[in-house]
Amino acid sequence: MTFKKSLAVLALALAAAVAPLQATTRATDYPGSVSILLDLPAVRSDLGLSSKQKSQLKTIRKELAAKTKAILQKNKSPQSSVLTTDQRLFGMIDLNNAEALAVLTPDQLNRFHEIQNRMLGYTMVFAPKVQKQLRLSKSQIGKIEKIRVRGLEFVAQANRSFEEGTMNHDKRLEVLRDYRIDQSSEIKKILTPGQTESFAKLCGKPVKGS
């Protein structure tokens, strides 16, 4: 799987998880859906997932889709606010991600973190855990947070265009993928050479079958 193809799938994972969310979205160590990332053939192969693990993750992905649909339908109620819906989605996504991660063995979990860093590139510097590992300064964190929030607004606009029918599915993936590549380049410029080297070590070896 090429870098751009990986980003296209991950763009879908992100869009599926945060499509209805507004700029209230907070930084997280697990952007998008963990269960969708774990469904990539190259990732499953690299981690050596068993048949039982694959079955468990399939169930978790189905639950994610069903719960997201239920929350969005409830959001159409006049009594629902964007913030309330966001909070419900945050809780649901966090719980779903935790369930998916719990399926992995300790060694698989450590490798998953490397794979996530490698596939999402420097956009993983949005994650609080990665920021601590790279020992970012307050100034660097502030600059990166501005990039993150600006990105949320871009994703929200792309999703609105998709929902309104002015942008098709493939175009949305292309737009989100290209934006993530641009974000990675922008973030890299903020890091010191030493931090760039440290992040490379967090990505581990290349993904098997990619």
Structure-model confidence comparison of residues 151 and 24, the more confident one: 151
Instruction: Please state the three-class secondary structure of the chain as a single string.
Output: CCHHHHHHHHHHHHHHHHCCCCCCCCCCCCCCCHHHHCCCHHHHHHHCCCHHHHHHHHHHHHHHHHHHHHHHHHHCCCCCCHHHHHHHHHHHHHHHHHHHHHCCCHHHHHHHHHHHHHHHHHHHHHCHHHHHHHCCCHHHHHHHHHHHHHHHHHHHHHHHHHHCCCCCHHHHHHHHHHHHHHHHHHHHHHCCHHHHHHHHHHCCCCCCCC
Q: pLDDT tens for residues 144-184? A: 999 988 887 787 777 778 778 888 878 877 888 888 889 99
Structure-model confidence comparison of residues 102 and 34, the more confident one: 102
Q: pLDDT tens for residues 190-199? A: 999 999 999 9
